[in-house]
Amino acid sequence: MAYVAVRGGTIAIEESIKRLKFERVKKGAIATIPSIEGGMRGLIDQVMSEGSLYSETLAAIAIKQAEGNPEEAVFLLRAYRSTLPRKHYSRTIQSEDMLIERRISASFKNIPGGQVLGATPDYTHRLLDFDLIQETEEEARQWLSDFQEIQEKESDLRDLIQYPKVLDYLRKEGLIADCDNQDQEPDDVTRKSLEFPTSRSQRLQVLTRGQTGAVTSLAYAVIRAYGSVHPTVGELRVGEMPIYIDNPINQKTEEDDAYYLGEMKLTEVEMLIPVTVEKERGKKEIEFEIGYGICFGQNETKAIAMGILDNCLENKNPQYPTSDEEFVLFHIDSVESSGFISHLKMPHYVTFQSKLDSARKTKRQENASQKESNL
Amino acid sequence: MSAYNFAFFDEGSKREIRRATLKAIAIPGYQVPFASREMPIARGWGTGGLQLTLSLVGKEDVLKVIDQGSDESVNAVNIKKLVGKTTGIRATEETSEATLIQSRHRIPEIPLSEGQILVLQVPLPEPLRAYESSELVTKKLHGEREYSGAWLMLFEQIMRYGNMSTGADHPVLVHDRYVMAPSPIPRFDNPKMNRSEALILLGAGREKKVYAVPPHTQVVSLAFDDYLFQTESSAGNSCKLCGATDVFMDEFVHEETGETYHQCNDTSYCLSRLNRKVLHQEVPLNG
């Protein structure tokens, strides 16, 4: 029958989904979860950070399912995350407790404790390493055991040292205003939607969940031309942060009763932003403000960018869109932006037909009035 | 799907969405913020509607999902599949049989009845957004019932095009209080909202808002005394398949002859008329 033509969506979808699986496996080789966890640390960190869920294994599954497409992997992780009940809230963490793997300052050469380069591609030449084509797991294991052997011989007690914060040094000098801890309970943007003006905790959450590229681009705009911020990296640290919860059984809140849950790898950045402060009798002084960035995993560019945007949103210079909290916070979420852009692929037959009707109506009127004026 | 709760959400989340929904029903046309969850379908693909549906659905419900008038459109099928998979409830294409109807951009041709709930998917819930991009400001404008911008918008269209040139999503005034985006339903469907027998809920997932038109609420499309609200004209067109005239139609071009023809946009309505035609040849077709 004639109307069969408009039907058949169900079957078409089934076939499309098969097609998708075909694309994933058609080369006869599949990425295993251990191989993704082993070799795709950068992608895992990005997906965990944007997905706002800390689990390397779940991120690896998402990456596998998404064929390595980060926006799709983040989407999978978020959709899973939203089904999880909140069972506990962790105790407040202090980033002084971080077990440092990397820690640098671009502001001071001689920071107390020293610069720790750790693992970073920053000092590599970005030349494609064609030897990797031939790399075998056996070679990798051999290299690893040699490396570990040397490490054991040379290791001192440094490994577990907690480093003082660079900014504390500036505070002692009086160059940064001292501030108290703000220990009120943070708002949870996943439990209560944003309302404006936002609180700092809301802003920081949205920024840390933001799409890496979006956060980076906006912060780039700030320092290139669309902002008046000239920041320096006060301190960037990457390391494992131990997480504790209060004893859930006896309701005690002392540290000794807390339960250790595990560690999270975090990147934390404190940006130093010079500002002119007006003192008494019109005297001006330069002081430093702070922009704060923190993300799951090692995501240094994003954390720095977050620090810049945090400061822009704090100061709200009306001259720049990057200081407009609605402009920034509403548009950097990967799931939301990619979702709304991709929805344009959905049929818009009705809406378009309706617009067509309006277009024809105005055309008809124009023709009619033209005829009238010709008379 | 044992990894997930009945209707996907944990009960706490459902309760929270229902609470926002109740508030929305109590203040017709007012956009209630809610903590929109990430869903297994993409933001912008009906997550607001889906969250409402999942928070409301019970084991006895019968679900109908339509996308731009079609029960078989890819996204409608997808949503139906997800709700079916996480609840096990029955789906239908028959409008009158459904207790819960989730729709994107159409209100079915068959009048809805008491006890039915129509859930509309909303991309942009803010009717004032076209001229004011700040949420903080639009919230204030609604609070102060300051809608001159909405009227000016229509007035400027008349000045520019000789008539109101809104396509779908022509703004409405609900219960003499809030100006509301009816979601991008064609203007043809706007009057169906007025004093509807069924409860109409509107959900915007990405924008994290829920709003409602409770049964029997007055809904008036914005217009001027001398420039009346007009629905899309279907003058002289009739459905090529079932012959219906007074319905919203899709426009097609015949591949060979190049001639334009029309079909009912509401495919299940068209189908049921066709079935009646087959069963009872005597039933008059243009009614």
- Taking the C-alpha atoms of residue A249 and residue A246, their distance in angstroms, rounded to an integer, is 9
Structural domain includes residue A332: yes
Strand order in the sheet with B90-91: B32-33, B209-213, B199-204, B117-121, B100-104, B62-67, B90-91
Instruction: List the structure tokens of A44.
Output: 């895992």
Structural domain includes residue A145: no
Give the pLDDT of residue B287: 41
Give the pLDDT of residue A4: 34
Q: Which of A195, A197, A339 sits opposite B44 (nearest CB)?
A: A339
For chains A and B, CB pairs below 8 A equal: 172
Per-residue confidence at A165, pLDDT binned at 50, 70, 90? confident
Structural domain includes residue A86: no
Q: A10 and B123 in contact by Cβ < 8 A?
A: no
- Shortest distance between the Cα of B116 and any Cα of chain A, in A, equals 23
Q: Which residues of B touch A52 (CB under 8 A)?
A: none
Give the pLDDT of residue A287: 83
B10-65 pLDDT tens trace = 888 899 999 999 999 999 999 999 999 999 999 989 999 999 999 999 999 999 99
- Residue A75 shares a structural domain with residue A179: no
Give the pLDDT of residue A374: 74
Give the pLDDT of residue A5: 35
- Residue A195 shares a structural domain with residue A259: yes
The residue ranges of every structural domain in chain B are: 11-221, 233-287
- Residue A171 shares a structural domain with residue A224: yes
- Residue A218 shares a structural domain with residue A288: yes
Which residues of B are designated catalytic? 29, 239, 242, 264, 270
Domain spanning B11-221, CATH class: alpha beta
- Residue A198 shares a structural domain with residue A265: yes
Q: B233 and A357 in contact by Cβ < 8 A?
A: yes
Q: A83 and B8 in contact by Cβ < 8 A?
A: yes
Beta bridge partners of B65: B102
Give the pLDDT of residue A1: 32
- Residue A237 shares a structural domain with residue A175: yes
User: What DSSP line would sit under B46-110, residue for residue?
Assistant: SHHHHHHHHHH--TT-EEEEEETTBTTSHHHHHHHHHHHHHH--EE-S-GGG-SEEEEES---SS
Of residues B153 and A183, the one with the higher pLDDT is B153
Give the pLDDT of residue B156: 94
Structural domain includes residue A362: no
Per-residue confidence at A191, pLDDT binned at 50, 70, 90? confident
pLDDT of A55 higher than 50: yes
Q: B73 and A347 in contact by Cβ < 8 A?
A: yes
Angle CA(B2)–CA(B7)–CA(B12) in degrees, nearest 5?
Answer: 100
Do B18 and B24 contact (CB within 8 A), yes or no?
A: no
Instruction: List the structure tokens of A35.
Output: 């191989």
Nearest chain B residue to A359 by CA: give it.
Answer: B165
Give the pLDDT of residue B7: 93
Per-residue confidence at B284, pLDDT binned at 50, 70, 90? low
- Residue A268 shares a structural domain with residue A334: yes
- Residue A23 shares a structural domain with residue A53: yes
Q: Which residues of A touch B36 (CB under 8 A)?
A: 193
Tell me the average pLDDT across B129-139: 94
For strands B100-104 and B117-121, give the pairing: parallel
Q: Which residues of B touch A78 (CB under 8 A)?
A: 38
**DSSP alpha helix (H) spans, A131-256:** 137-154, 166-173, 200-209, 212-224
Residue B231, judged by CB atoms within 10 A of its CB (0-12, 13-18, 19+), counts as: middle
B262-271 pLDDT tens trace = 999 999 999 9
A94-149 pLDDT tens trace = 888 999 999 999 988 888 888 999 999 999 999 999 999 999 999 999 999 999 99
Structural domain includes residue A344: no
| Count of domains for chain A | 2
A197-255 pLDDT tens trace = 999 999 999 999 999 999 999 999 999 999 888 899 999 999 999 999 998 888 778 88
State which residues form the domain around A289.
95-121+162-338
Per-residue confidence at A161, pLDDT binned at 50, 70, 90? low
pLDDT of A158 higher than 90: no
- Residue A202 shares a structural domain with residue A324: yes
B138-192 pLDDT tens trace = 999 999 999 999 999 999 999 998 888 888 999 999 999 999 999 999 999 999 9
Q: Which residues of B touch A81 (CB under 8 A)?
A: 38
Of residues B210 and B73, the one with the higher pLDDT is B210
pLDDT of B208 higher than 70: yes
Give the pLDDT of residue A375: 66
- Residue A204 shares a structural domain with residue A264: yes
- Residue A206 shares a structural domain with residue A166: yes
In sequence order, which residues have a C-beta less than 8 Å from that of residue A180 and are 6 or more positions away? none
Establish if A358 touches chain B: CB-CB under 8 angstroms.
yes
